[in-house]
Amino acid sequence: MSIRTLYRYNLNGENEVDANRYGRVTPTQFDAFDVGSKGIVGVRGVITMIAIALFFFVLPVVLLWLFRESIGYGLKLYIAIVGIIMYLIEIPFLWLYIRNMIIHWELRRGRITQAEGEIVWRRNRYVADAEGRRLQPLLGDVSLIPGEYRFYFLPTSGRLLSVERTTSNIQLLRDALAQTNNFLTSALETNRQGLLATSQILRLLGMIATNLFWSIFILIIFSGISFAAYTYLPAFGFSRWYALIALGVGGLIAMGFMTQSVTLLADLANGKASVADGKIAKTVRTTHSRHGTHHDYYYEVLYAHLKFEVSEAAHEALVDDLEYYLYYTPRTKIMVAIEPK
């Protein structure tokens, strides 16, 4: 499946809704299932499951039977335990295969049910609830405005195919954005006037205090290191210049924190909130290291070349394909609030 096809798959796409309303599944939805299931269906899936079963379950049984007289009780017990453990490890893969086969069977037969439900923000993500059950899209997450919808889904697997909005609640979306980005919705009225709200000023003052703390802390630490180096390094044959270098490094780091604090003070003195409006892109930067994989999440206003780092929850709370007002400090470019148009 191509990336282009993936981008065409929308839960509220007109083609998908029209087809699902009459019990038909679109080619794009089949493609989305193929990507979401990672191809664990069909002939390849059957061969894979047979191979896993032979290796993890049948092989230990065969070994025990072939060498039942030539090996001791302890080794037999060991082989049996290893076989059981490996079989238990296989169970999640077996469940994944069965689940995907059920979804594949429902898609092929067009077993589509519709029901009224709602999309709500719950536990740092949007979820679709209908008739007391949680519906999961074929691919990706639910990223739609909270509100009431008509859902088209597969009844057995509970896989969501498409949605048709009946009523939406922008306030719920605004609340989710406020909660995940740590601002008060009451501050938006002040931001719309181009000003920073009191709660936002206090938050920025907290950032200044934090920067000042780290500046002083770093200066104290590096001053102590510099003093110790100046006092004891000559005894080991090293120059006292290393002490001055250590002090200079500490001063540069502290200066970085101080510079940001001064710029923040300028934003506070100005009291203004800049605004960028339009569509906002959600981007992720992934870095790999020996300690594992790390993800950084961003809101990007492409036309204004603005980029704001956010939490994973805030990243999930932003609904795609909508236009927003994003408020930020003019000099330091710190986001203070965001709301849908």
In angstroms, the Cα distances linking 223 to 160, 239, 243 are 61, 17, 9
Predicted local distance difference test score (pLDDT) of residue 244: 79
CA distance 126 to 132: 16
CA distance 221 to 127: 48
pTM: predicted TM-score of the whole model, two decimal places: 0.68
CA distance between the termini of the chain:
34
Phi-psi region of 321 (alpha: psi -120 to 50; beta: other; left: phi over 0): left
CA distance 162 to 20: 7
Q: Is pLDDT larger for residue 229 or for residue 194?
A: 194
CA distance 176 to 182: 10
Provide the pLDDT confidence category of residue 70 given band limits of 50, 70 and 90: low
Ranking 80-84, 104-108, 182-186, 313-317 by mean pLDDT, the lowest is: 80-84
Structural domain boundaries in the chain? 3-168, 180-340
Ranking 242-246, 260-264, 282-286, 290-294 by mean pLDDT, the lowest is: 242-246
Classify residue 152 as exposed, middle or buried by CB count within 10 Å of its CB (0-12, 13-18, 19+): buried
Predicted local distance difference test score (pLDDT) of residue 195: 92
Burial 15-48 (b: 16+ CB within 10 A, else e): ebbebbeeeebbebbebbbbbbbeebbeeebeee
Predicted local distance difference test score (pLDDT) of residue 7: 43
Within the chain, residue ranges assigned H as helices are 3-8, 14-21, 27-37, 42-53, 59-66, 73-109, 170-181, 188-192, 198-232, 241-270, 312-317
Predicted local distance difference test score (pLDDT) of residue 1: 41
CB 218 within 8 A of CB 250: yes
Mean per-residue pLDDT over the chain, rounded: 82
For the segment 84-127, what is each residue's pLDDT rounded down to a tens digit? 776 676 667 777 777 888 888 888 888 889 999 998 888 888 99
Predicted local distance difference test score (pLDDT) of residue 237: 72
What average pLDDT score do residues 320-341 get?
91
Instruction: Give residue 277's identity as a one-letter amino acid code.
Output: D
CB 151 within 8 A of CB 128: yes
For the segment 150-160, what is each residue's pLDDT rounded down to a tens digit? 999 998 888 89
For the segment 206-219, what is each residue's pLDDT rounded down to a tens digit? 988 988 898 888 88
Phi-psi region of 23 (alpha: psi -120 to 50; beta: other; left: phi over 0): left
